[in-house]
Structure formats: structure tokens, C-alpha cells
Chain A
């Protein structure tokens, strides 16, 4: 088993590469879950109003 992790002396390079892949995939999935939850909460708190359907003016103009 330790032979497998040593990877013929290249273990450091190989596991740093695959470790970064694992960390990034997990981090992306977790971050997405957090962002989705936040979006759902925000959507729940935002009741649709009639004003939603009125077209907004150009950016910066007083609505």
C-alpha cells in the first residue's frame, strides 16, 4: 500500500495534482450548494408585486 502512495518516488507530484483536483471539485460543489440555498431563501422572501412587471428605466434614472 505504501508502495502505491510512493508512486516510484513521484508521489508528491502526483498526489498534489490529484489532491488539488479533489479539493477544487469538493469546494465548487459545496460553494454551489451554499449559493443555491441563498438564492432560494432570497426568492422566498421576495413576494412578486405588480411593480415587478413594470419596465425599469435606464440604469441610474430615478424609479
Chain B
């Protein structure tokens, strides 16, 4: 089977359609499981009381906000390098969900900071760089809307996404490089986690839910973008959902 076949919108569109329900139901199941662990099983924290339960929404969305940006930059790079339409559409489809994840991470972070640090917001390196990430997502989306020609917009957005990618390691390492009000990481790839196993489990389940959710909505959005941009092509006109009604 030649996987590159699926870089063509007519081949990818039905494949994405088949994958969406799987990711959507996986996301729903993991969300229920994660909330059940987070609120039903995980005990009260001895220092923070119940306030720490914001972790189950804050950390997964913060991880996704950075990861989605890198994936968006990756597809942007592919579209620049190989001039593939679908790669650019994937990058376009990821931006709104990335912005929403960034917003939830900032919002939940403020609501967690208030009871634990005494403030919703501080201009420390972690929070400021995450706010810049939100503006980068807005910038990519605004740039696309400002350019009428899709292919030119693809290239401009890819360049902006790639340049902005430098911000992601800055966010990730900000708590190491500078003194921040934000705590250092409790979970990293290089050391054992510094938190209770059940809390970690709940957080990881919620992170997997965020992954599945992101994949599901991105596939729905990329299919919609394909319809919008390939509108007028014979294969689109022949789709059963377009024919019906």
C-alpha cells in the first residue's frame, strides 16, 4: 500500500471520514475515565487541597498547545518543501484547535494560580511565552484570512509557523532557564515523575483524551477545508453528502 496516495485530497477525504468516529469515541471514553479518576479516585492534595484538580485540564491542554504548534509547523514545512496541498490544509486545520488549547491552558492556569500563588497572572517567562504562543496562533489565522489566494496564504502561513516554532522550546525550558513564579516540571522524559501515581494516571488519561479530541476535530476541519477549497472539482460534486438533499 502506498501511503503517499493519501496526500491527495480525493484519497484522503474518505479515509479521514472513516477515522473520525474512532478518535471521537476514544476521546469521549478517555474524557469520562479521566474525569472519574480526577474527581472520583484521586485524593485531596495535602498542600493544595482540592485546588490541584485543575491539573487535569491545565497540563494536558498546555502540552497540546505546544505540540499542535509543532505539528502545524511540520505540515507547513512539508507544504513549502513539496508543494503539497493537503499538508497546507492540515496546517490550516490545526491552528484554531491549537489556539483554543492555548487559551484553556492560560485560563485554567490563572484560575489555579489565584488560590495557590495569590495572583491570576504574572509576567514571568512561562506565562508570557505561552501568551505569545496564543498570539502566534492568532497571527497565523489572521494572515490566512488576509490573503485571498489560498496557495499564497499557504506559503506565508508556513513561513510564519516555522519562524514561530522557536517559541515552543522557549516555553518548554522557560522554567529551567529563568526564575519563574510558575513551578518547574513535575513530569519529564528524563526523570521519574514527582507526583502521586494516581494523580499522574488521571493527568495522562486526560492528555490522551486531548490527543484523540484534537485528532478528531482536526480531521473534521481538514475535510471541511478540502470541501471549501476543492469546491467545483468533479470528485467533490460526486460525493454522496454533496449529492444528497
**Interface extent on A, as a size class?**
20 to 34
Contact A39 B224 (CB under 8 A): yes
Contact B232 A24 (CB under 8 A): no
With A10-B50, A28-B100, A59-B149: A43-B236 Cβ-Cβ less than 8 Å:
yes
What chain A residues lie within 8 Å of B108 (beta carbons)? 17, 20-21
Contact B217 A17 (CB under 8 A): no
For the complex formed, measure the closest distance between the CB of B68 and the CB atoms of chain A, giving whole angstroms: 13
Q: Which of B2-10, B111-119, B132-140, B182-190 contacts A (4 or more CB under 8 A)?
A: B111-119
With A8-B44, A8-B50: A17-B107 Cβ-Cβ less than 8 Å:
yes
Contact A7 B228 (CB under 8 A): no
Is B175 interfacial (CB-CB < 8 Å)? no
Quick one: which of B38-54 are within 8 Å of A by CB?
Answer: 39, 44, 49-51, 53-54
Chain A interface (Cβ < 8 Å from any Cβ of B): 4, 7-10, 13-14, 16-18, 20-21, 24-25, 28-29, 32, 35-36, 39-40, 42-44, 46-49, 52, 59
Q: List 23 A-B contacts (CB under 8 A).
A: A10-B50, A10-B115, A14-B111, A17-B54, A17-B57, A17-B108, A20-B108, A21-B61, A25-B213, A28-B100, A28-B217, A32-B217, A32-B221, A39-B227, A39-B228, A42-B231, A43-B227, A44-B245, A47-B232, A48-B236, A52-B232, A52-B234, A59-B148
